[in-house]
């Protein structure tokens, strides 16, 4: 059985900064800009007042969303460096689709 999906990143940085990051790192997936933090807010990933000068920041997270826009899995990091491995994510996807 074959499954398909789309990988993308969402960042609160500007479109120009996201383009620079994508080019510098030769990414083959898009980085969408959420400068107003609408998506971050909608998915409950906004840490109010935790940024420099009390600004709001996005929590680093990985989210799998089904074709109906529902979250079917998410991992919210405690620190920027705290990320699941590619193997761990693939195992989650495999479990979810079987």
Average pLDDT over residues 56-77: 86
Domain ranges of the chain: 1-59, 61-98
Distance CA 63, CA 57 (A): 17
Distance CA 10, CA 34 (A): 6
Q: By C-alpha distance, which of 73, 22, 19, 13 is closest to 40?
A: 13
At residue 14 the predicted structure's pLDDT band, cuts being 50, 70 and 90, is: very high
pLDDT in tens, 33-51: 999 989 888 888 888 888 8
pLDDT of residue 1: 58
Q: 68 vs 52, 55, 63, 64, 71, CA distance in Å?
A: 35, 32, 14, 11, 9
pLDDT of residue 57: 83
pLDDT of residue 68: 84
Which residue in the block uniquely carries the two structure tokens 């999906």?
Answer: 5
pLDDT of residue 64: 87
């Amino acid at each position: 059985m074959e499954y398909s999906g789309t990988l993308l990143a969402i960042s609160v940085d500007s479109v120009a900064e996201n383009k620079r990051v994508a080019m510098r790192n030769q990414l083959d997936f898009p980085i969408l800009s959420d400068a107003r933090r609408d998506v971050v807010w909608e998915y409950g990933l906004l840490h109010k007042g935790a940024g420099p000068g009390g600004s709001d920041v996005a929590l680093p997270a990985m989210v799998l969303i089904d074709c109906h826009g529902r979250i079917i899995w998410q991992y919210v990091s405690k620190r920027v460096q705290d990320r699941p491995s590619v193997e761990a994510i693939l195992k989650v996807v495999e479990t979810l689709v079987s």
